[in-house]
Amino acid sequence: MTSPVLQKQASRPTHVRQVVLGMTVLIYMITYMDRVLISTTAPLIRQELGISLIAIGTIQSTFRLAYALFQIPGGWLGDRIGPRRALTMIAMWWSAFTALTALGWNAVSMTVIQWVFGMGIAGAFPIATRSLSRWMRPSERGFAQGITHAGSRVGGAAGRNVVAFLMIGFGWRFPFFVFGVVGVLWAIGWWVYYRDAPEDHSGVNVSELDLIHSAGAARKRAGAPVPWRKILSSRTMWLVALMYVCYQWALSVYLDWFPTYLKESRGMTLAQMGFYASLPLWAGVVGDLAGGWASDLVLRFTGNVTRARRIVGVIGFLIAAIGILPATLTHDPKTSVWFSCLAFGGLELTVSVSWAIPLDIAGDFAGSASALMNGFGNLGGAVSTQMLPVLVKAAGWNTPFFVTSALCAVGAAMYMKIDASKRIELG
């Protein structure tokens, strides 16, 4: 006869889903560590290779264009063959080209490498979102998206500090090799541990499986054809995609150009740049966690998913739109950074709910739906990255920030029209 203690232990859910979430957070961190390499090392790259500000903009814009165009193929790959195989493959791919960036010798070679790097890393977020669709309950999706995106900002913030330290000691090429190895190690761990469905994981007990499925988590297997016609005919899907253009425009300003802005417009040294450029990303960590937590809290109290997503999205964009103005107009560099932290923290309030919406409306095809959203958003990011040096040359550093503030206000207006309760009828 089984003892009461053993019965109680057997009834407790295992914690594999938390480990899966933790591994997903880690890959978000790694993607942003890799993505901030170019923007952080740009001053030394320009100096050694003789690359102009506009040429650096072209290199970064090329990455974003590839990143945007291959979002949908990346999301489709995850839906088609499953997140386990798909994420392992693409993590190996982009990690290899992270390391190869260190071998670039001029603007053309750097542009080609960044294009191929962007192709590989494009599927990371859609596939990672898809990887959680069978593991997270609906009431946890806002938090799950919040903590994963917080992980990305931790990676970006810590990555800038680490890159600044490494390039001061070993030159700008060395960090690319280091971060490439980190990505390969994660890919190996993901393949060994993760499974596409909780039922397939030997560490999941019956209690954890019941907990996951009690809230209607998706059970479909990889391989089902993606219902693109229904996804593309969703008004909510297109509103989310266009809203995300506003978000990615603003994100690219801070992710791709903030270190250069602090050095060239605010007169900071290389060491100061590495520290102060990381601060808005740390503020973004708070915004990501707060946005996901607040959205899930509203959902639990009201049962209204549209209200839960909309309130957080609108407030976040408005904080960003307002905060950018004093950050731009103040003459004190450190005050500018603190207001930038407020603005970026507000912007990041929106991201967890934005990525929760594809899960809300597309379920097991969240990879493809989030790829559509992120693809359109990053087209805006690519234009932003290319346009910023042009605007700076024509009208000074203030102009691109004023444009960004206006687009954040547009993002808030668009969020007012997004209805996360309108699920796509997938059949």
* pLDDT (tens digit per residue) in 73-113: 887 788 788 889 999 999 999 999 999 999 988 989 999 99
Residue 424 scores a pLDDT above 70? yes
**Beta-strand (E) ranges in 152-302?**
none
Name the residue type at position 327.
A
Greatest Cα pair distance, the chain, in angstroms, is 81
CB-neighbour burial class of residue 284 (10 A; exposed 0-12, middle 13-18, buried 19+)? buried
Phi, psi of 198 (to 5 degrees): -55, -35
The residues, ordered by sequence, that sit 6+ positions from 113 with a Cβ below 8 Å of its Cβ are 97, 100, 101, 103, 104
Residue type, 412: A
Structure tokens at 98: 């992270």
pLDDT tens string 128-154: 877 877 777 766 666 776 777 778 878
pLDDT exceeds cutoff 60 at 9: no
Which residue type sits at 85?
R
Instruction: Take residue 181 and report the two structure tokens written for it.
Output: 């190895």
Look at residue 2 and tell me whether its pLDDT is greater than 50.
no
Contact 4, 221 (CB under 8 A): no
**pLDDT value, residue 1:** 44
Domains assigned to the chain: 15-415 (1.20.1250.20)
Taking residues 176-185, report their average pLDDT. Answer: 93
pLDDT of residue 426: 62
How many CB atoms sit inside 10 A of residue 233's CB? Answer: 12
More confident residue, 322 or 273: 322
The pTM of the whole model exceeds 0.95 = no
Q: What is the pLDDT of residue 46?
A: 85
Report the pLDDT value the prediction gives residue 336, as an integer from 0 to 100.
Answer: 94
CA 205, CA 207: separation in Å to the nearest integer?
6
Q: Under a CB-based contact definition with an 8 Å cutoff, are residues 47 and 357 in contact?
A: no
